[in-house]
Structure 1
């Protein structure tokens, strides 16, 4: 009989399946990631990429496409999904009733009577019957913990997409700055050449040349820095996506909405989303609910579980049946664990309130920053308009021979500096916009 029980018990067992984790293999897999991987296409299509649906590989990558790639590749998403899977699996554990135990106690009599078996064989299972809804509370706690883990996937996804957006803003600004600085270098070269010709003709003092050469030197430094920022920006964007920097070499990346800074929704809408709908806040609510279920479970443990012990004994030729009923005696009424669970529930409530208050302040700052940056952008754009008008007047005078080429080049240089200031202002406003969207967990980027 013991052999039969062992066979029945073990026949349904799940067998161990090895899963090797080799650092060299994982490093090689990461180094082979690329944007034109055919395996990436279905994920982009599922994310709503119209470009990926009609053509592959993509000729150019938009913000939305890069964010979809990041949701597929970024390790933070994989970790969040793995944690959620663990939490979901824990529901099965929590919802499982305690396994019964079986005791087998053979005895052998040294001096049995005539015709009497020397063996005493006893079998006694121990079946636990949980009371006071302990299993239900344990399962409810696990479900809340799983809900929190699933919400964490949504929050990690937002943060990953936000990082891609921020990196693309920096990269787009760096590229536009580089284009303007290259134009500035050509303008500086022409200006220095024109001034050198005037000095050679004795029409200008040599001191003016030193001033413009110094300015050209400073602009050349800015140009070199701008070129290095391109590589840095590509590396930052690749890291935000979860790919090696080499994967972005040669890819057409851009964001046509860089200049389109939308007006945010009404502040009431922003606050509702930030304070009531953010995934991390909802996860904190699930954590609180899980701690409340944990408290209910500890309170339920004040009530003893029942242990049913039916037994059979073969006692030297006689069959004997028995039925035992037992229970544990919580003489301390489980006071220690109840107090601990109560404190943990209070802690979870405090964590939620801290997060909500912090988000409110974060949102207020983000709204103020975005409004301030939009105002600054308008001021800089107004300055550019003024510079362009002055340059137009100077060009008109030059066409009539009233001024030389040098004032025109100086005016062009002023325009380029104003355009650089506009690019910087747009980039700063875009970053503020991203922080505002992060605070509210609400996207209102231009398509």
Structure 2
């Protein structure tokens, strides 16, 4: 009885803490989402800790500062970090040792057999023993899962940065087109006015004026559409930075000059013209490649665990009994025998999982190699077309300058000059569109390599330069 009295507090302790429900604070979440703003003290601390070179407060926002906002406010990264926290907790739980078992029994006899005492009670402790290093293998599996979750955090951060990069390229294209369409509409208005005067004096007919009016109306519609699209893109940038428009004005964005950026990128054309470098970075630097390797390693550990399960776990059961006056001690040994299934059946599925992960990794490498080739060809062809359009644009610019000089000297009339000016703006439109296409091709190369290129000033080292540095 004294042993039972001693063990009773242990049993109460094992009950643990009572469950406490914690419902989701829906309204509080909504308030937090709307009140998030870049002037928060928490965001300031985050910026100065992760990018101390950033001037505070941020006056004009570029890709780097917008990315910092997304990393702090965007819920996608919060989810990825939460998944990582769950994976870390799984490492701790995988390393927990099995619980001890405690069995007790109380009996009373009518002493029909002449027992010395009518009472019998026993206390037995069950001590599980994990064999074949199963506990360490379980920890290893949990660690690989934590590595996968950590890589997914980096993937999410890269995804947020890439989306902002796409937004900024689109905004730069729209703003350049807006400026072009505004000038084009002014030239078309002047040309329409000049033809209207000719129509009034009978020099021109309605068939001459109507196409010009239609072109002017089309340009006016495009200008209105572009202005609306710019507002939508600016709002999307705010959303992709993790904020809402309810309590936040649109960002004052640093201008992105596509032509200037492309001049700098063309100065290092060998980096992007080298398909081997693109493929090398893609196959060694991409986070999904690292995640695939971690998933395969996890599958191997799972197979290792299934093979270790061939060896049954043991359980020692020391105990003491007081049985109707007799004191008895005992020591038991138990194990679970697998007699119904063959040992190979225990790891057959785990082996298939490992083969599946190997096939997935092969398919991933195949996809990355194909993507590397596709983005390289797309950039190369887009860059060649840009060179041609740039030459045409420069010729139109020279012709426009010549006709402007002749018009000022009275050698040609204003209509001929305005027609050349409209042709110049049309050539400029084609150039803007192609510059944006080349920037998007660069951005796709950046995404395949997962190395900043398009809107970054960070230089990229080619594979040949890496090999030379290694040789030295």
Do the structures match in fold with TM over 0.5?
Answer: yes
Tell me the distance in 2 between the aligned counterparts of 1:152 and 1:226: 36
* TM-score of the pair, normalised by structure 1: 0.93
Tell me which residue corresponds to 1:180.
180
**Superposition deviation, residue 198 in structure 1:** 2.5
Residue 31 (1) aligns with residue 34 (2)? yes
- What's the CA shift string for 1:395-443, capped at 9, x where partnerless? 1111111212222222222222222222211211111111111111111
Aligned to 1:42: 45
| Partner SS state of residue 110, structure 2 | coil
Structure 2 residue matching 1:402: 3-state secondary structure: coil
Q: Is the 8 A contact 2:138 2:305 kept in 1?
A: yes
- Secondary structure of the corresponding residue to residue 124 of structure 1: strand
2:225 corresponds to: 225
- Cα distance in 1, alignment partners of residues 445 and 56 from structure 2: 34
> d(CA) in 1 for partners of 2:76 and 2:6?
48
Query: How big is the alpha-carbon RMSD for the aligned residues of Structure 1 and Structure 2?
Result: 2.2
Counterpart mapping for 1:13-412 below 5 A: 13=16, 16=19, 18-48=21-51, 50-51=53-54, 54-56=55-57, 58-111=58-111, 116-246=116-246, 249-256=249-256, 258-259=258-259, 260-261=261-262, 262=265, 263=269, 264-265=271-272, 266-331=274-339, 332-412=341-421
Report the Cα distance in structure 2 between the residues aligned to 1:414 and 1:328, rounded to whole angstroms. 87
Q: Which one is further off, 433-442 or 6-15?
A: 6-15
Work out the CA distance in 2 between the residues paired with 1:279 and 1:44: 24
Contact 2:60–2:251 (Cα < 8 Å) also in 1: yes
Q: Indicate how the Cα distance of structure 1 residues 239 and 318 shifts in structure 2: closer, same or farther if over 3 A, else same.
A: same
In structure 2, distance between residues paired with 1:410 and 1:3: 105
Deviations 1:116-143 (A, max 9, x none): 4322111111111111111111111111
- Structure 1 range deviating more: 193-202 or 64-73: 193-202
Given that 1:373 and 1:429 are in contact with CA atoms closer than 8 Å, whether structure 2 keeps it comes out as: yes
Cα deviation, 1:215-241, whole Å, max 9, x if unaligned, reads 001111111110121122123323322
For residue 406 of structure 2, give the secondary structure of its aligned residue in structure 1: helix
Aligned residues: 444
Which structure 1 segments of 5+ residues have no match?
A: none
**Cα distance per residue 1:27-72 (max 9 Å; x no partner):** 2221222333332222223332633xx321x211011111111112
Distance, in Å, in 2 between the alignment partners of 1:358 and 1:192 is 54
2:448 paired residue number: 439
Note closer, same or farther for the CA distance 1:424–1:292 as it changes in structure 2 (3 Å cut).
same
Structure 2 alignment gaps of length 5 or more? 458-472
In structure 2, C-alpha distance between the alignment counterparts of 1:162 and 1:9, rounded to whole Å: 56
Go from structure 1 to structure 2 and tell me whether the alpha carbon gap of 1:206 and 1:7 turns closer, same or farther (over 3 Å shift).
same
SS at match of 1:256: coil
